[in-house]
Structure 1
Amino acid sequence: MRVCLSCSFSLGSQLVKMSRKFFVGGNWKMNGDKKSIEEIVKFLTCGPLDPNVEVVVGVPAIYLEYTKSKLPGNVAASAQNAYKEPKGAFTGEISPCQIKDVGVNWVILGHSERRNVFGESDELVADKVGHALEVGLFVIACIGEKLEEREAGKTEEVVFRQIEAISKKVCDWSKVVVAYEPVWAIGTGKTATPQQAQEVHCKLRNWFKTKLGDCAAQKIRIIYGGSVTGENSKDLAKEKDIDGFLVGGASLKPEFVDIVNSNKQTC
């Protein structure tokens, strides 16, 4: 019996990917009010959402408890940010303890807007990740390069530096989803091609393999964020090292359902 080696390799890669539960996060950013949240909850409830996908939506802090009370059981709420301390004189910040106290178990940390608009350093992001994990939250940890860094050939240097800082604060990677979000493709309408995104995801997984070993590296979920839409999500989802998405503007629209369902592939 003749065996097609390329088919066998493809099947093996697919099986490895299937061992990592597909993850789709929606980041609402500073958008929404009670009326629009009701509309979002309606299309999430109607779905239908692929039951094999973990779905989490990042909600403005002021609406976290309200949204959690409205979401269907197959969708979790997430905070969009948290500080590195449990309490104190930090006006305007929220702590992981407060997030837990309202029954929310996820937080997005290190998003490009936190880094590049609000000036958060690699070290601060790492400290925030470490504290959130200590408190018991699950973390979506974001990394990614700016356009000038990509054009200068510094993509690997930047993302490896960012993930290195975070890794020093992580003991259990099952509690962390890594989101690669090229800054040049966020809110610009530009999207990395599936091949460009896969290239960075593959290099990140190889970085984890070097640091943690192959077994651990194959379990870590690395998702893509950067102008993901219902139109491009299926092609992105086919790549073997892309384990889901962190979605911005499209998570406010019904097409988010299509993105959640984009991993339904036929052989």
Structure 2
Amino acid sequence: MRRKMAAGNWKMNGLQSNLAELKALAQEFGNADCDILICPPATLIHSAASTTADAVDIGGQDCHQSETGAHTGDISAQMLKDAGATHVILGHSERREDHDESDHDVRHKAVAAIHAGLKTVICCGETLEEREANNTLDIIGGQLAGSIPDTVTGENLIVAYEPIWAIGTGKVPTLDQIGEVHDFIRARLERRFGEGVGRSTRILYGGSVKPGNAADIFGVSNVDGALVGGASLKAEDFGQIITALAAS
């Protein structure tokens, strides 16, 4: 059985004072019937890991593909691990768009992250134009093939489907659309890696997940949890999503 996961991406939000939200989350949901992951900005990783005391996993939002080197401003996977992270998000659409990251870049970062002992949350998703042109599955298939390295296992790989047009917009695909993509991802993983890896890899949905729609989304085929943006910044809001996931 795949263990469900509620993951929160704080993006470029959060100061030391915001760790109170994380502490409240850990205290109330530390024994929840699902895994909880929070990916704060890099400046908070060490403090966040110390605050949660293993009740909540802490992850990075990106890493460099090299272990060390002259890469001013970048952070290696080993540095994330050393700071207390257990996971890292890779290939988020905002990284792909704002920093021109390619599938090739994401794959090499994933190799580095796995080598450092981190679990990878690899993101994929289509634009509104691609959705309207009925190219969604072709786009997702290409991203999966190009971004995921051959060395993954069901333990170190988590896939997050995030339709770009739904991130932070309040727009959400229909449940049938979400199910179609998640079923497709599962089938692709099984075909490439075999049933063992394919069936044990968790597939999260992300894109305007809120307390009001979480339960319906978690009832969709092959949705093993969520990667949540803004709603993960407040323990009260994220807690409702965790409760919905644990009950699904």
For residues 63 and 148 of structure 1, the distance between their equivalents in structure 2, rounded to whole angstroms, comes to 36
Equivalent runs, 1:45-194 vs 2, <5 Å: 45-48=26-29, 51-194=32-175
After TM superposition, the runs of 4+ consecutive aligned structure 1 residues lying more than 6 A away are none
Q: Is the 8 A contact 2:6 2:37 kept in 1?
A: yes
Provide the secondary structure at the position in 1 that maps to 2:7: strand
Q: Is the 8 A contact 2:172 2:208 kept in 1?
A: yes
Distance 1:174 1:72, change over 3 A: same
AA partner of residue 30 (structure 1): M
AA partner of residue 123 (structure 2): C
For residues 155 and 23 of structure 2, the distance between their equivalents in structure 1, rounded to whole angstroms, comes to 30
Provide the secondary structure at the position in 2 that maps to 1:88: coil
Equivalent runs, 1:189-228 vs 2, <5 Å: 189-228=170-209
Q: Is the 8 A contact 2:30 2:56 kept in 1?
A: no
Distance 1:67 1:238, change over 3 A: same
In angstroms, what is the RMSD of aligned CA positions?
Answer: 1.5
Structure 2 unaligned blocks of 5 or more: none
Partner of 2:18: 36
For residues 199-225 of structure 1, what are the alpha-carbon distances to aligned partners after superposition, in whole Å with 9 as ceiling and x for unaligned?
A: 100011111222223343221110001
Q: Is the 8 A contact 2:90 2:123 kept in 1?
A: yes
Question: How far is 1:141 from its partner?
Answer: 0.7
Partner of 1:250: 231
Distance 1:34 1:52, change over 3 A: same
AA partner of residue 103 (structure 2): D
Question: How far is 1:227 from its partner?
Answer: 0.6
For residues 209 and 78 of structure 1, the distance between their equivalents in structure 2, rounded to whole angstroms, comes to 26
Q: Is the 8 A contact 1:129 1:169 kept in 2?
A: no
Q: Is the 8 A contact 2:62 2:88 kept in 1?
A: yes
Question: How far is 1:113 from its partner?
Answer: 0.3
1:259 matched to 2:241? The reply is yes
Provide the secondary structure at the position in 2 that maps to 1:25: strand
Distance 1:128 1:225, change over 3 A: same
For residues 119 and 245 of structure 1, the distance between their equivalents in structure 2, rounded to whole angstroms, comes to 25
For residues 95 and 238 of structure 1, the distance between their equivalents in structure 2, rounded to whole angstroms, comes to 37
Q: Is the 8 A contact 1:126 1:169 kept in 2?
A: no
Q: Is the 8 A contact 1:49 1:260 kept in 2?
A: no
TM-score in terms of structure 2 length: 0.94
Distance 1:170 1:147, change over 3 A: farther
Partner of 1:15: none
Partner of 1:22: 4
Question: How far is 1:72 from its partner?
Answer: 4.6
Q: Is the 8 A contact 2:32 2:246 kept in 1?
A: no
Distance 1:216 1:172, change over 3 A: closer
Question: How far is 1:169 from its partner?
Answer: 4.0
For residues 150 and 98 of structure 2, the distance between their equivalents in structure 1, rounded to whole angstroms, comes to 24
Structure 2 residue aligned with 1:239, among 197, 220, 237?
A: 220
How many residues align? The count is: 247
Question: How far is 1:146 from its partner?
Answer: 0.9
Question: How far is 1:168 from its partner?
Answer: 3.3
For residues 150 and 8 of structure 2, the distance between their equivalents in structure 1, rounded to whole angstroms, comes to 25
AA partner of residue 228 (structure 1): V
